[in-house]
Amino acid sequence: MSILVIGLSHRSSPVTIRERFAFAEARVPAVLQMLRETGIAQEAVILSTCNRVEIYAATELEPRQGFASLREFLVTCHDYREPLTDEIYSLGEPQSIHHLFKVACGLDSMVLGETEILGQLKKAYDTALQAGHTGVRLNKAFQRAFNVAKQVRSTTNIQRGSVSVGSVAVELAEKIFNALNDRDVMVIGAGDTSEKTARALLSRGARSILVSNRSHDKAVALAGELGGRAIRFEEWSKEFANIDIVISSTSAPHYLLDRARLEPLMKARRNRPLLVIDIAVPRDIEPEVNLMPNVYLYNIDDLQAIADDYLKLRSEEIARCEKIIREKAEGLLRHSGQRGPEGAGHPALSHKGAN
């Protein structure tokens, strides 16, 4: 009995197709039951997330026959009648095991190294396990996948760092301030990214939030959503003495804050550190303010560059992760009485691999 994988992911198909193949959570046990009753698979797990739909099946069928049957099952299940080319991939052993491990480790995710997929995979496995649709082969494979994910997380940097602008801003704040729970945040301009950044800071414990916008109504609305206080646009500098973090995203065509204006404000703040996040284009804050003592200025490009650098660092870890995955997959296949990639008992098939 070998483990086969068939499915679609963000790498192989657009969302317009993926959404057609998605399984509603409540429907999964019934589909698994159906799949086993057809005799295609003796054990099965269905993973359905916004970025992938995959069936992991332990089957006694020959791989080619198994792939054809699983593909037919998947298409029929969703009543999909349009032509398909390379959107669906099929993987036989040992690639199927490698793929499962890579998915668990976040190596196949849209955001490299993200951890949400591991929780989704555990849930998918648990659903199948509870309904009695897994057996010795899939149980071992999934348990090993979770162990590999843990090992990869603890021994490599694949999950290190933030890859979104909001979370990078939070990380920077945590490198400047002792703690965020006694910090006050001011949002100038009620844009979408500034809202997300403010939310990220609030989620890490920022004490209070002030919102100022040219349209006071918008400021009031955003302050209401964030649980903060709205202030009139003309008055934001009066509140500055108590502020530790400023997020600016207005559409002003000129600098809102320059060095000459900030210097007296900093004196009023007794030179406490100030984090200024300027996500406006054109910029709201004069770049010169970064040269002032105790002022730390980041614009949207700085934040994006850090996020990109983090992704680059993660990419550099791929080789280390894959080495661990390869060793663990070979170990699992040896343990299961199968042979590894050098001499598989049956040809390893890969139709439009996801990796």
Q: Compute the least distance from the CB of residue 275 to other proteins, in Å.
A: 9
Q: Interface with other proteins includes 300 (CB under 8 A)? A: no
Cα(245)–Cα(296) distance, integer angstroms: 10
110 belongs to the binding site for other proteins (CB under 8 A): no
Q: Is 221 in the site for other proteins (CB under 8 A)?
A: no
Stretch that binds other proteins, among 55-63, 194-202, 220-228, 265-273 (CB under 8 A): 265-273
**Exactly one of 164, 290, 350, 355 binds other proteins (CB under 8 A); which one?**
290
Q: How many CB atoms are located within 10 Å of the residue 64 CB?
A: 13
Integer CA distances (angstroms), 251 to 209, 214, 310, in order: 20, 10, 29
Indicate whether 154 belongs to the interface with other proteins (CB under 8 A).
no
CA pseudo-torsion sign 49, 50, 51, 53? positive
For residue 204, give both structure tokens.
Answer: 């890490």
- Closest CB to other proteins among 254 and 270? 270
Minimum gap (Å) between residue 259 Cβ and other proteins = 14
**Applying CB under 8 A, does 164 fall inside the site for other proteins?**
no
Nearest to 152 by CA among 95, 109, 206, 193: 109
Containing H/E element for 230? Answer: strand 229-232
Could you tell me which stretch among 61-69, 92-100, 136-144, 176-184 binds other proteins (CB under 8 A)?
Answer: 176-184
Residue 298 makes contact with other proteins by CB under 8 A: yes
* Stretch near other proteins under the rule CB under 8 A, chosen from 125-133, 222-230, 231-239, 307-315: 307-315
Count of residues that bind other proteins according to CB under 8 A: 26
How near is the Cβ of 321 to other proteins at its closest, in Å? 17
Residue 181 binds other proteins, judged by CB under 8 A: no
User: What contacts 293, CB < 8 A, 6 or more positions away?
Assistant: 271
Check residue 225 for interaction with other proteins (CB under 8 A): no
Looking from the CA of 247 toward its CB, the CA atoms found within 13 Å total: 28
Contacting other proteins (CB under 8 A), which of 105, 107, 121, 168? 168
Among 262, 306, 333, 349, binds other proteins (CB under 8 A): 306
Assess contact for 262 and 288: CB atoms under 8 A: no
| Nearest alpha-carbon partner for 201 in 230, 167, 178, 248 | 167
Q: Which is nearer to other proteins, 160 or 346 (CB)?
A: 160
| β-pair type (274-278, 89-91) | unpaired
* Exposure string over 137-158, b if 16+ CB within 10 A, otherwise e: bbbbbbebbeebbeebbeebbb
State which residue, 252 or 313, has the beta carbon closest to other proteins. 313
- 16, 175, 227, 254: which one binds other proteins (CB under 8 A): 175
Residue with tokens 């660092």: 313
Is 50 among the residues known to form the active site? yes
Among 80, 146, 177, 233, binds other proteins (CB under 8 A): 177
- How far apart (Å, rounded) are the C-alpha atoms in residues 258 and 292? 11
240 binds other proteins (CB under 8 A): no
Q: Which of 78, 160, 238, 335 binds other proteins (CB under 8 A)?
A: 160
Q: Are 275 and 193 in contact (CB under 8 A)?
A: no
Residues involved in catalysis: 50
Q: Which residues bind other proteins (CB under 8 A)?
A: 160-162, 168, 171-172, 174-178, 270-271, 273, 290-291, 293-294, 296, 298, 302, 305-306, 309-310, 313
